[in-house]
Amino acid sequence: MSHDDGTVTPAASGQPEPSPALDRLYEDFARNSTAPLWTQTNDLMPLVPTPAAIPFVWQWRELVDIARRAGDLVPVGRGGERRAIGLANPGLAPTAYATPTLWCAIQWLGPYETAPEHRHAQNAFRFVVEGEGVWTVVNGDPVRMSRGDLLLTPGWNFHGHHNDTDSPMAWIDGLDVPFAHDMDLGFFEFGSERVTDEASPPFSRSERLWAHPGLTPLSAPGPQHSTPIAAYRWEHTDAALREQLALEDEGHPATVDQGHAAVRYTNPTNGGDVLPTIRCEFHRLRAGARTPTRREVGSSVWQVFDGSGTVVLDGERRDLVKGDLFVLPSWTAWSLEAEAEFDLFRFSDAPIVERLHFQRVHLPDTDGRVPGPRA
Amino acid sequence: MSHDDGTVTPAASGQPEPSPALDRLYEDFARNSTAPLWTQTNDLMPLVPTPAAIPFVWQWRELVDIARRAGDLVPVGRGGERRAIGLANPGLAPTAYATPTLWCAIQWLGPYETAPEHRHAQNAFRFVVEGEGVWTVVNGDPVRMSRGDLLLTPGWNFHGHHNDTDSPMAWIDGLDVPFAHDMDLGFFEFGSERVTDEASPPFSRSERLWAHPGLTPLSAPGPQHSTPIAAYRWEHTDAALREQLALEDEGHPATVDQGHAAVRYTNPTNGGDVLPTIRCEFHRLRAGARTPTRREVGSSVWQVFDGSGTVVLDGERRDLVKGDLFVLPSWTAWSLEAEAEFDLFRFSDAPIVERLHFQRVHLPDTDGRVPGPRA
Amino acid sequence: MSHDDGTVTPAASGQPEPSPALDRLYEDFARNSTAPLWTQTNDLMPLVPTPAAIPFVWQWRELVDIARRAGDLVPVGRGGERRAIGLANPGLAPTAYATPTLWCAIQWLGPYETAPEHRHAQNAFRFVVEGEGVWTVVNGDPVRMSRGDLLLTPGWNFHGHHNDTDSPMAWIDGLDVPFAHDMDLGFFEFGSERVTDEASPPFSRSERLWAHPGLTPLSAPGPQHSTPIAAYRWEHTDAALREQLALEDEGHPATVDQGHAAVRYTNPTNGGDVLPTIRCEFHRLRAGARTPTRREVGSSVWQVFDGSGTVVLDGERRDLVKGDLFVLPSWTAWSLEAEAEFDLFRFSDAPIVERLHFQRVHLPDTDGRVPGPRA
Amino acid sequence: MSHDDGTVTPAASGQPEPSPALDRLYEDFARNSTAPLWTQTNDLMPLVPTPAAIPFVWQWRELVDIARRAGDLVPVGRGGERRAIGLANPGLAPTAYATPTLWCAIQWLGPYETAPEHRHAQNAFRFVVEGEGVWTVVNGDPVRMSRGDLLLTPGWNFHGHHNDTDSPMAWIDGLDVPFAHDMDLGFFEFGSERVTDEASPPFSRSERLWAHPGLTPLSAPGPQHSTPIAAYRWEHTDAALREQLALEDEGHPATVDQGHAAVRYTNPTNGGDVLPTIRCEFHRLRAGARTPTRREVGSSVWQVFDGSGTVVLDGERRDLVKGDLFVLPSWTAWSLEAEAEFDLFRFSDAPIVERLHFQRVHLPDTDGRVPGPRA
């Protein structure tokens, strides 16, 4: 096994001499449903993460095309539940996982269609890169979906979608389905075949109660483990990013890197992430800006919201335009470069990584070393 | 000692027989800087809180009058530091404390005057019931003060005020000065005699960075023990209250009591109170609404922001109009009744009470009993 | 798809009509590295967890036999690192995972042998069902390993083992290797080929500093995310269980169920689990006692420490004797019955489940329903 | 006002010119129950804490003498409740407070006497410097009191004491009575006139359930805000201190300062302080050791448990022997010097200070400056 620093792991030196007795022992391992660690240490416990998932880019143009065709051919209703087409990381075949923890799909809803209500322990959100006209109904509260909005459906809340217009609409769904599936954490329950409230108000009741900056209803119980805000609206996200760049221009600390503004969507009841397993962020790079190269523990999915630019993934450059999605497996070296002003939505499994204390960051251009965990 | 339930504490039975030996013993207690508990148990450890502070009302009209006269006679500058006139609870004389924990003052700043910069460990806020034209500068960040705004100055932040107009302005200051003084927690440091930034922008840098609903700058460190938002603006408070009442009208849970909307100002980094020692709230009652009678552990100060109504304090009715302030000592029975739509700002020492686990609430109309602590 | 309650999921009704256009669409899904959700909802998001891992029992007698043979044939040293033989859940082949999150192995160390030092982000412990004579050295602190002891090696601490006697010794290792591997969280670093301190003291320095009930060194920093205690000794565990049963005899609440005493090993700096990802418990059933049947979200591994009894796994009875291990996948119905007084060690991924808010418990004998998440 | 650094606060320059109009204004301040800040800033908000409480020493010999005389003259029973004689800080006269937050008393119980049961919101503990034979009964659980033991009675637990022998016994009580009284937080309820369980077991049920190092009963609910352990026994405290000094001898970090071992008594359910308002510690200095001089925010009371030495309080040396008590007001410079091995118990209001984020420490010999709050 060869390492970053050019040395070779002395794996061979730790291995037993082949012999008939050893063959019999290895047979008995299998017969007893056991397996030796010494033959697999390097694979099971590598020096740094060696993801099966690969960095990968999906083009929005193509996704929309196949989603539209699915809209023509595939009904949406009880049983199939959703006309959603998942991004299947080629490294994780045959699953349709984007990363080991995250599911990401494009969902398509035709004119006046309804995706029936159900609920599941898995946490979900939707992000709208274009279009409007659909309301998602979360526990009976209708939530308008418009370009740039982030819509939340925390675990075990009933939800359905209905298109209130004569145009189709597409958006992306993000869930912790792979995590919940592989860890055996999921529950599912069918609900109403129609959404329970077909109104199409401009703002959900959850927003009217909760989406006021720094203000909490006195009638609320204490901290909740998921956000009570069902929709984070584009106008607020855009304003927050614009102000960060303006503050940078005025000489004040506000941005993550030079020319790189970013916000985290947060749960107002505790200041933490919107979902127990998923972090959502929005990034804006000025035209011409580029981020330093980073490696991080944990995986994420990005979607270009506007503008154009390039992502460099383990050294490979990929140009991106509006709607394009890419996956960043754990410990992949990445940087972004903006051609025009470049807006990107990101979601990641950072809450899993951080709550279980596995977080690490590496800036290879800075020191070239793999750092230890943050103290 | 007589109790709520009509019984009498058998204090007498626990007392020693008078004798010359007892007299000598009591003299020796004093000589040795000691004192017996048995003669003072009832005072030191009463059945329920028996505050020295009394419920009290100050009329805004009179406060403004004396503040204006102070504006003519008293300079504002280094040494005196602030032209602030504290509400002195008659039960706490000779101090100028509003309650055992809270200081509340009306501050007056004349045309183009400056109150010099300083900082202190004590936590402070300002609330504006009327007027505009002053900027408070917090760690170099100028913060506009307008009607209905709550301005925060957490402990150990440098701050000064300057009036950018040719009109005087008055507002109220709230601090934990009594608590910090009596517990010996305070530190103080003089700063610049002029404010360090005389600009008068519409919004502070802290708001531009932080006052977006549910959005946190990615560049921020983790949770902070005081809010990073320097100003909570009236337009947001008003909208939040209006929506709660509208939701109530539509049949959804949102208000505290029937016809009684309320918000808590919160620290977006952790969802908790804006200051470690002070909770700030805003209440709105519909015309004709009244709250159930409540007793709570801990003290608070209220100011009428708009409308008119009545507060009932331990059974005594007091009519209130815009600007009037009243104090609610611990365990005082209180209720509010709105004549016209009735808006009130409140601040309290609830974070002290709750972080140290002394909270209790009693609704005397409901059960007449003194409940035990919430489990 | 048939459910617990006899109904059938109407999956078929949600599926598209076969057609050449549909075939072409499905081909294009694959060509674009995507996959439809509607064909896999039932598998990906089942009504209740449907683990690939199966309930399974390993007999200690057989494990010790193959470990001893490995001791004769397989060197322990740099590269292979450990003479550890993992329990390979047949449902998770070809991996050698006990559950989707947990690794469990029997490790064998011959007379005077040394397992070299290394460190990894994965969290580890050892539990000793029999034997003595090995010291594990954690960050330079030698820790005696004796029957009934739980030894901790939180992530990124250097550790090695050396046998200070002329007898071999076997014990079990537990790690979060499957979780860290599948989520791409692991880091690994080689250390000294010899242990860095070959002393064999009766108690580690960590115990001398930390293992005093309710006492924390004043020199300690604040809360730590893993326990600072390197060894939890049998004498304390045994005493705690004995007292619980004695308290039950005296009529006081102390046990989990009638005749069922249990302790959780905890981190004294925060009262939580010993490791961020792994919970460790010890259970004792009186002779004749049986537990109610339970289902829980998350997986665990149990080892019989002493006595004998039966585990019922999804209705199948398996008799167990000292050293036997069994695996409990998520949502498996389980109960224990004690023949003689029955002592069992358990470790689980409960901290992962609980920190991410997926916990649920079901007592099928009580109500037969799948309950919703705990509020 | 003169400062540490020799400068003088320009208070005079901030004051108004005397005039008849100013006199009338000041009269109107009083008439309106208000008071100006500018005349009292220096007192209310000093540069550093200027406690009314003074550093003070009480001699155990004298306290025991007056307690014994009280034992002869004063009954213990319903009404007086306790034969407790409080340490009255001369700076806080006429109260019998040791510090602004803490009460400390010597309590005396004659042969076979009973102090009746009651409960109060105030938190309490007892510490035993000498003697034995009394059991304190906490919520029906009898707790033996012996030399060196710390006994806890968190708020709102019924408790009484009974002497099971024919010898009197004295101990110290510590409570947050001044804090609860001045903040109006206290509730009180009478209970049984006899203790509800007159047994005299060697260990309380709480210890049998909870006092095992790092082991939590699985039947326990989650974190509790006060410790569930009713007694912290001397044998554990002594062992923990002895090990710290032994580790220091062996070259390992363990002690607070050179030759100065110390433990904090902690709540095993969350790793925090034993009571929400009171921290308890035990300190041991080697013969000849001395601590660096420190100033800290918040107040504490110390009792010599064994050995002899000197405390330096704001530069004044006071020799101490077994049982002597002294009070350390906020920001008092203090250091300890051990003649013989010197054991001291300490309790403080540090949880109040820290939970409300007022903590600061100053080591004057190190840098001479008043540091800002810890970030």
CB-CB contact of D195 with D117 (8 Å): yes
Q: How far is A47 from chain C (nearest CA, A)?
A: 4
The identity of residue A330, as a single letter, is: S
- Residues D329-351 have a mean pLDDT of 98
CB-CB contact of B231 with B151 (8 Å): yes
Q: Are residues D244 and D318 in the same domain?
A: yes
Q: Are residues C192 and C271 in the same domain?
A: no
D22 interface with B at CB cutoff 8 Å: yes
Half-sphere exposure of residue B182, counting CA atoms within 13 Å on the CB side?
23
Residue D374 resides in a domain: no
d(CA A238, CA A343): 10
Q: Are residues D278 and D349 in the same domain?
A: yes
Q: Say yes or no for a CB contact (<8 Å) between C84 and A373.
A: no
**Chains in contact with A, counting 3 or more C-beta pairs less than 8 Å apart as contact:** B, C
- Residues B9-34 have a mean pLDDT of 85
Give the pLDDT of residue C367. Answer: 56
d(CA D151, CA D169): 15
Chains D, C in contact: 3+ Cβ pairs under 8 A?
Answer: yes
Give the pLDDT of residue D371. Answer: 38
> In sequence order, what are the residues at sequence separation of 6 or more whose Cβ sits closer than 8 angstroms to the Cβ of residue B282?
B237, B241, B262, B263, B265, B305, B343, B344, B345, B346
B233-to-B82, C109, C163 alpha-carbon distances in Å = 24, 68, 69
d(CA C14, CA C16): 7
CB-CB contact of C165 with C133 (8 Å): yes
pLDDT category at A40 given cuts 50, 70, 90 is confident
User: What's the token pair of residue C235?
Assistant: 């004498």
CB-CB contact of A85 with C35 (8 Å): yes
**Count of structural domains within chain C:** 2
pLDDT digits (tens, 9 = 90+) for A236-274: 999 999 999 999 999 999 999 999 999 999 999 999 999
The identity of residue A129, as a single letter, is: V
pLDDT digits (tens, 9 = 90+) for A317-342: 999 999 999 999 999 999 999 999 99
- Residues B123-138 have a mean pLDDT of 98
Of the candidates B292, B264, B279, B291, which has an alpha carbon nearest to the alpha carbon of residue B353? B279
Q: How many CB pairs under 8 A join A and B?
A: 145
User: What's the token pair of residue D253?
Assistant: 């970090």
DSSP string, D186-247: --EEE--SS-S-----SS-HHHHHH-STTEEETTS-S--SS-S-SEE-HHHHHHHHHHHHHH
CB-CB contact of B352 with B273 (8 Å): no
Residue numbers in B near A281 (CB within 8 A) = 218
Examine the predicted complex and report whether its ipTM is higher than 0.85. yes
Residue D2 resides in a domain: no
Residue B276 resides in a domain: yes
D310-to-A336, C125, D172, D242, D338 alpha-carbon distances in Å = 65, 47, 21, 21, 6
Of the candidates C310, C304, C260, C308, which has an alpha carbon nearest to the alpha carbon of residue C286? C260
Helical residues (DSSP H) of B281-363, grouped into ranges: 350-355
Closest Cβ opposite residue D254 in set C219, C263, C264? C219
Of the candidates C115, C109, C188, C119, which has an alpha carbon nearest to the alpha carbon of residue A14? C115
d(CA A70, CA A92): 23
The identity of residue B34, as a single letter, is: T
Residue B29 resides in a domain: no
> In sequence order, what are the residues at sequence separation of 6 or more whose Cβ sits closer than 8 angstroms to the Cβ of residue A6?
none
DSSP string, C147-162: TT-EEEE-TT--EEEE
The identity of residue B13, as a single letter, is: S
pLDDT category at D41 given cuts 50, 70, 90 is confident
Give the pLDDT of residue A27. Answer: 96
Q: Are residues C316 and C245 in the same domain?
A: yes
Does the CA dihedral C70-C72-C74-C77 come out positive or negative?
positive
Half-sphere exposure of residue D345, counting CA atoms within 13 Å on the CB side?
30
Whole domain around residue B205: which residue ranges?
A: 56-216+223-231
Closest Cβ opposite residue D214 in set C209, C232, C252? C232
Containing H/E element for A105? strand A103-109
Domain end residue (candidates: B231, B258, B282): B231
Q: Give the phi and the psi of residue B4 in degrees, each rounded to 5.
A: -55, -35
Mutation site for A-interface testing, chosen from B204, B209, B210, B219 by largest number of A Cβ within 10 Å:
B219
Of the candidates D221, D213, D197, D89, which has an alpha carbon nearest to the alpha carbon of residue D143? D197
Give the pLDDT of residue C79. Answer: 85
Looking up tokens 């002070």 gives B278
Instruction: List, for chain C, all residue ranges whose pLDDT scores fall below the cut of 70.
Output: 1-14, 366-375
DSSP string, D325-342: EEEE-TT--EEEEESS-E
Residue B45 resides in a domain: no
Q: Are residues A210 and A254 in the same domain?
A: no
- Maximum separation of any 2 CA atoms in chain C, in Å: 76
pLDDT category at A374 given cuts 50, 70, 90 is very low
- Residues B62-71 have a mean pLDDT of 97
Q: What is the DSSP letter of A13?
A: G
D219 interface with C at CB cutoff 8 Å: yes
In C223-287 the beta strands, taken as DSSP E runs, fall at: 231-232, 260-265, 279-285
Residue B80 resides in a domain: yes
D265 interface with C at CB cutoff 8 Å: yes
User: What's the token pair of residue A2?
Assistant: 């060869």
Residue B49 has pLDDT above 50, yes or no: yes
Pairing outcome for strands C150-153 and C124-127: antiparallel
Q: Say yes or no for a CB contact (<8 Å) between D212 and C237.
A: yes
Nearest CA in chain A to C93: A33
Domain end residue (candidates: A209, A229, A249): A229
DSSP β-bridge partners for residue B343: B284, B306
Closest Cβ opposite residue A270 in set B229, B264, B271? B271
Q: Are residues D183 and D78 in the same domain?
A: yes
Residue D1 resides in a domain: no
Q: Say yes or no for a CB contact (<8 Å) between B187 and D349.
A: no
Q: What is the DSSP letter of B316?
A: E
**Chains in contact with D, counting 3 or more C-beta pairs less than 8 Å apart as contact:** B, C
CB-CB contact of B326 with B292 (8 Å): no
pLDDT digits (tens, 9 = 90+) for D109-155: 999 999 999 999 999 999 999 999 999 999 999 999 999 999 999 99
D153 interface with C at CB cutoff 8 Å: no
Q: Say yes or no for a CB contact (<8 Å) between D232 and C215.
A: yes
CB-CB contact of A186 with C49 (8 Å): yes
Portion of chain A with pLDDT greater than 90, in percent: 90
Domain end residue (candidates: A196, A229, A262): A229
Of the candidates C119, C185, C177, C156, which has an alpha carbon nearest to the alpha carbon of residue A48? C185
Residue D311 resides in a domain: yes
Give the pLDDT of residue A364. Answer: 87
Residue A51 CB coordination number (10 Å): 22
pLDDT digits (tens, 9 = 90+) for D211-223: 999 999 999 999 9
Nearest CA in chain C to D215: C265
Looking up tokens 């048995």 gives B38
User: What's the token pair of residue C215?
Assistant: 């006492």
Strand C159-163's sheet: what is its strand order? Answer: C141-146, C132-138, C159-163, C114-120, C188-190
Q: How far is D352 from chain B (nearest CA, A)?
A: 7
Residue D34 has pLDDT above 50, yes or no: yes
Q: Say yes or no for a CB contact (<8 Å) between A215 and B268.
A: no
Residue numbers in C near D262 (CB within 8 A) = 217-219
Q: Are residues A359 and A238 in the same domain?
A: yes
Q: What is the DSSP letter of B271?
A: S
Q: Are residues D129 and D184 in the same domain?
A: yes
d(CA C352, CA C80): 29
Give the pLDDT of residue C314. Answer: 96
- Residues B338-367 have a mean pLDDT of 94
Helical residues (DSSP H) of chain C, grouped into ranges: 20-31, 41-44, 60-73, 177-182, 205-210, 234-249, 350-355, 364-367
Nearest CA in chain C to A360: C185
User: What's the token pair of residue C242?
Assistant: 């004995």
> In sequence order, what are the residues at sequence separation of 6 or more whose Cβ sits closer than 8 angstroms to the Cβ of residue B20?
none
d(CA A361, CA A359): 7
d(CA A178, CA A104): 10
Q: Are residues A85 and A158 in the same domain?
A: yes
Q: Are residues A186 and A242 in the same domain?
A: no
Q: Are residues D68 and D16 in the same domain?
A: no
Portion of chain B with pLDDT greater than 70, in percent: 94
End-to-end, the C-alpha distance of chain D in Å comes to 29
pLDDT category at D13 given cuts 50, 70, 90 is low
Helix, coil or strand: residue C181: helix
Q: How far is C215 from chain D (nearest CA, A)?
A: 5
CB-CB contact of A129 with A60 (8 Å): yes
Residue D338 has pLDDT above 50, yes or no: yes
Chains B, C in contact: 3+ Cβ pairs under 8 A?
Answer: no
Residue B190 has pLDDT above 80, yes or no: yes
Q: Are residues A178 and A298 in the same domain?
A: no
Does the CA dihedral C363-C244-D151-D234 come out positive or negative?
negative
Residue D113 CB coordination number (10 Å): 18
Q: Say yes or no for a CB contact (<8 Å) between A244 and B217.
A: yes
3-state secondary structure D292-329: CCEEECCCEEEEEEECCEEEEECCEEEEECCCCEEEEC
Q: What is the CATH number of the domain that holds A120?
A: 2.60.120.10
Mutation site for B-interface testing, chosen from D60, D358, D362 by largest number of B Cβ within 10 Å:
D358
Q: How far is D292 from chain C (nearest CA, A)?
A: 15
Across chain B, mean pLDDT equals 93
Of the candidates C146, C86, C151, which has an alpha carbon nearest to the alpha carbon of residue C325? C86
Residue numbers in B near A354 (CB within 8 A) = none
pLDDT digits (tens, 9 = 90+) for D228-278: 999 999 999 999 999 999 999 999 999 999 999 999 999 999 999 999 999
Mutation site for B-interface testing, chosen from A216, A236, A247, A347 by largest number of B Cβ within 10 Å:
A216
Residue A230 φ/ψ region, left for φ over 0, alpha for ψ in the -120 to 50 degree band, beta for the rest: alpha
- Residues D192-217 have a mean pLDDT of 97
